[in-house]
Copies of this chain bind each other. A is one copy, B any other.
Amino acid sequence: MLGGEGHSDPWVKLVDYALVSLITINCVFSILESVEDLAIVHGHIFHAFDHFSVAVFSVEYVLRVWTAVEINQPRFRHSFWGRVRFVFTPMAIVDLVAIVPFYLGIFFEVDLRAMRVLRLLRVFKLTRYSQAMSIMIDVLRQEARSIGAMLFVFLVMLVFVSSVMYMLEHPRQPEVFSDIPSAMWWAVVTMTTLGYGDMVPATVAGRVLGACTAVFGVGMIALPAGVLASGFSEQLRRRREEYLESVDKAVQDGRVKPREKRRLEATRLALGLSSEEAARILEYGVKGGQMHCPHCGELIHRNPAP
């Protein structure tokens, strides 16, 4: 999943693995540091490692900005503005957020807890090494309309259910269902079938409404899940198809030249396909997915893609 699986250069791989390990250990340490007993005993280790990490991340950040012009994209080509543009890409911002709080902490008095949380944002640095997050974001973008429609209905029902519940339960449990925002907390906990049990309707009418809310909520919440699941497989299919098109272009002259191979590899990495999948698609593309009538030899149709 992680660690620059696509690069063929062993040194690039090594650096990638080292950085992934550093980020992971860093997050684990930040989490453990919040446990008081551990902080007292091993505090100095956590501190030393944090200083070391910030040093590495700082060097990494400077190098990334410096080499931004080498990225094969026209908008980063300009020696000054290219680097400025790079600084404002989402991944570069994540990299900056990973180190800035430390330097700010030197000059200003900062709340320790807030510092620790900011330090944990470093976990997002890991997303650079995984296509997972990018696929998720593409799925959300692709199904944004459906998801938006469902969230809208969810919100309208939330307001409706919690206001009626407030009316029904407030007289009986004035401490628990004290106001409509509290009732909304109950409604979310019920509609997502969380059911903490900190707020439970006690009147008959409240329980009937609660039962309907629970049944309705199950359907309401399961809907986006179904849409997301089908969107996810659709997204994977599209990426495979896109790769197949590149393969088709590459094999048009009957064979795959080294230059074409390198370009295919780049496409594969950009689409986040595994090597096995890519190999399967390549084989399909080279063989031609075509089917010929075994009797008259004419092309009939292309088999469905793998």
Measured CB to CB, the residues of A under 8 A from B are 1-2, 27, 30-32, 34-36, 113-114, 116-117, 120-121, 123-124, 126-127, 130-133, 135-136, 145-146, 148-150, 152-154, 156, 159-160, 163-164, 166-167, 170, 178-181, 184-185, 188-190, 192-198, 200, 204, 207, 210-211, 214-215, 217-219, 221-230, 232-233, 236, 274, 277, 291, 293-296, 298, 300-301
Q: Would A113 and B170 count as touching, CB distance under 8 A? A: yes
Select one of B116, B214, B225 contacting A219, CB under 8 A.
B225
Q: How far, in whole Å, are A121 and B229 apart by their CA atoms in the complex? A: 33
Q: Would A34 and B223 count as touching, CB distance under 8 A? A: no
Residues in B whose Cβ lies below 8 Å from that of A149:
1, 130-132, 135-136
Tell me the smallest distance from the CB of A3 to a CB of chain B, in Å.
12
13 contacts across the A-B interface (CB closer than 8 A): A30-B163, A116-B167, A117-B163, A117-B166, A121-B160, A123-B156, A124-B156, A145-B274, A192-B214, A222-B225, A230-B233, A293-B295, A293-B296
Q: Would A167 and B113 count as touching, CB distance under 8 A? A: yes
Q: How far, in whole Å, are A160 and B119 apart by their CA atoms in the complex? A: 10
Residues in B whose Cβ lies below 8 Å from that of A298:
293-296
Interface centre among A27, A117, A192 (most CB of B within 10 A): A192
Q: Would B136 and A153 count as touching, CB distance under 8 A? A: yes
Residues in B whose Cβ lies below 8 Å from that of A159:
27, 31, 120, 123
Q: How far, in whole Å, are A188 and B57 apart by their CA atoms in the complex? A: 29
Residues in B whose Cβ lies below 8 Å from that of A195:
189, 193-197
